[in-house]
Amino acid sequence: MPSHIPTSLLLAGASAAALIVTLAFRRPSTVRNIEGPPSPSWLFGSMIQLFIPAQHGDHEFQWQKAYGAAYRLKGCFGEDRLMLSDPAAMQFIINNSKFEHSPVFHNLTKLLSDKRSLSVAKGDRHKRLRATSVRHYQPLMQKAAEGMSRTLENAMSTSPSQDINIYPMLATASLSSISEAVFGGASQDLIQEFVRTNTRAASLSTGLNGTIVLIDAVGSHLPEWVWDIVTLLPTAAFNILRRVKHLARRIGKRVVREKMDAISQGLEMENDVFTRLLSGKMNMTLTDEDVAAQTSLFLIAGQEPAAHTMAFGIYELSRNPDFQDSLRREIHSARGSDAGVVYGDMPLLNAFIKEILRMYPIGPLIERVATEDTIPIQKGQVINLAIASYQRLESLWGIDAGEFKPLRWVEGSAYRGEAIGPYANLLTFLGGPRTCLGCEFNILEMQVVFCELVANFSFTLAEHDFLRLRGSTILTPTNSAGQKGAPFRVTQIV
């Protein structure tokens, strides 16, 4: 997927060499005879339609209906790609070590995080960190959600009759939860600076254009050492990304130093993730440097995806007022019970979250590349795992797969046949050896935040703006001007 790193120097200096090598040594594609949409351009293939439609899925979902769950799609420079939304084929690739992350993913990971990052880890280290219990972080999440309620109340008091962009509030609540859970109360000053810088970096994703698509296509064919040199160019985008990585490294080292000092002094320790890693409670062989290296992973992967998903949730509540009212009644009933809120006993809330995750997978397209020849895929073949298409596959989810229908989960008719995925048979959190580290954390966070917001506020569609989905590296909510945002009309529940 595009990594959103614009620089004309890369195109001018490296594209010719990469193209010569690529075209000279490219073997005939083993997927070239598979049916697929016609390519509108040799230069871009169908990548503009795939990555930069007016609304996410405009072309992709139509291609799936026309060509099925496996079809050929032309990439840049005439490259053949394989688009998959077939459950059996996707499961095979996700669980097969012969299919690795694409060069574009590795290039972006190197820019934003340390080489020790568990974002590229597999096996026991990944599994142990993912298995960490998240229930004891619920009070932190509740505190963050209540803070968001107060912020929303203040915004309404200053502009009671105007549309309100709630995305910044969702992002702040998500950041507060993840930073407290991972770092405890340490280094909040640097974390805030990191967020400001990362916000600038994230804004690059909404500015995706044809030039950036070409740059990623060229970059995926460059030798690693050439790409490393390219990323040293003094462009605005590279400067921002280098700053993000530098701040993450500073935060990680400072937090580790503070916590190791506290451990050596025998002080009472917090129960955050870094403390547990450093004290050996997770049975993981990680050095202090290894722990510090996870900072950017937690801050970047832990904030934006959750905020985006919750924005899509508010969007669907705004479009479905009757369901919003039913959900509110369930929340008020749970809050008024003697047992208090037990999220597992709230069928509408959990059905709503599952349906949001189904309709709006934060990573709608995942690239894999074959690392060696296999049947019938040859080494170097790029495969797009079409997560969003899989989760709208009519043969699996029914003829209403393209509709927001949370009651499908309550009625027990959500899917039929062999579905896959670590949560509710969804691939929003991917699956296999690289299931998302924050899966359970994100689900609990959504349960807490939606309960707080829906109990206290009513949401309707904005009167003077609208929300649009942009699909790039992650599925992003934008306003009518194409800027990241989630505008809604909000009314306080008295």
CATH number, domain containing residue 206: 1.10.630.10
Q: How confident is the model at residue 274 (pLDDT cuts 50, 70, 90)?
A: confident
Q: Are residues 238 and 7 in contact, defined by beta-carbon separation less than 8 angstroms?
A: yes
Q: How far is CA 431 from CA 125, 304, 419, in A?
A: 16, 20, 12
**Three-class SS of residue 214?**
helix
Residue 446 lies in a domain: yes
Tell whether residue 436 is among the known ligand binding residues. Answer: yes
Partners of residue 426 on adjacent β-strands: 423
Number of domains forming the structure of the chain? 1
Residues of the chain above pLDDT 90, percent: 33
Per-residue confidence (pLDDT) for residue 207, from 0 to 100 = 64
Residue 1 lies in a domain: no
Residue 3 lies in a domain: no
Q: How far is CA 408 from CA 310, 328, 354, 479, in A?
A: 20, 19, 10, 29
Cis peptide before 2 (omega within 30 of 0): no
Q: How confident is the model at residue 186 (pLDDT cuts 50, 70, 90)?
A: low
Q: What is the mean pLDDT of residues 332-340?
A: 86
Residue 402 lies in a domain: yes
Q: Are residues 296 and 112 in contact, defined by beta-carbon separation less than 8 angstroms?
A: yes
Residue 165 lies in a domain: yes
More confident: 430 or 283? 430
Domain residue limits at 411: 8-492
Residue 41 backbone phi and psi in degrees, to 5: -160, 135
What DSSP designation does 131 have?
A: T
The alpha-helical segments, DSSP class H, found in 113-209 are: 123-130, 138-158, 167-183, 188-202
Spatial CB neighbours of 52, under 8 Å, sequence gap ≥ 6: 208, 209, 210, 213, 472
Radius of gyration of the chain (CA): 23
Distance, CA of 225 to CA of 230 (rounded, Å) = 9
Question: Residue 490 pLDDT > 90, yes or no?
Answer: yes
Distance, CA of 278 to CA of 270 (rounded, Å) = 12
Residue 2 lies in a domain: no
Question: Residue 256 pLDDT > 80, yes or no?
Answer: yes
Residue 461 backbone phi and psi in degrees, to 5: -65, 145
**Three-class SS of residue 99?**
strand
Q: How confident is the model at residue 204 (pLDDT cuts 50, 70, 90)?
A: low
Q: 436-467, pLDDT tens digit by residue?
A: 767 888 899 999 999 999 999 999 999 888 88
Q: 118-163, pLDDT tens digit by residue?
A: 665 554 555 555 545 577 788 888 888 999 999 999 988 877 667 8
Per-residue confidence (pLDDT) for residue 5, from 0 to 100 = 46
Q: How confident is the model at residue 246 (pLDDT cuts 50, 70, 90)?
A: confident
**Three-class SS of residue 431?**
coil
Q: How confident is the model at residue 81 (pLDDT cuts 50, 70, 90)?
A: very high
Q: What is the mean pLDDT of residues 305-317?
A: 94
Residue 100 backbone phi and psi in degrees, to 5: -110, 170
Per-residue confidence (pLDDT) for residue 7, from 0 to 100 = 46
Q: How confident is the model at residue 424 (pLDDT cuts 50, 70, 90)?
A: confident
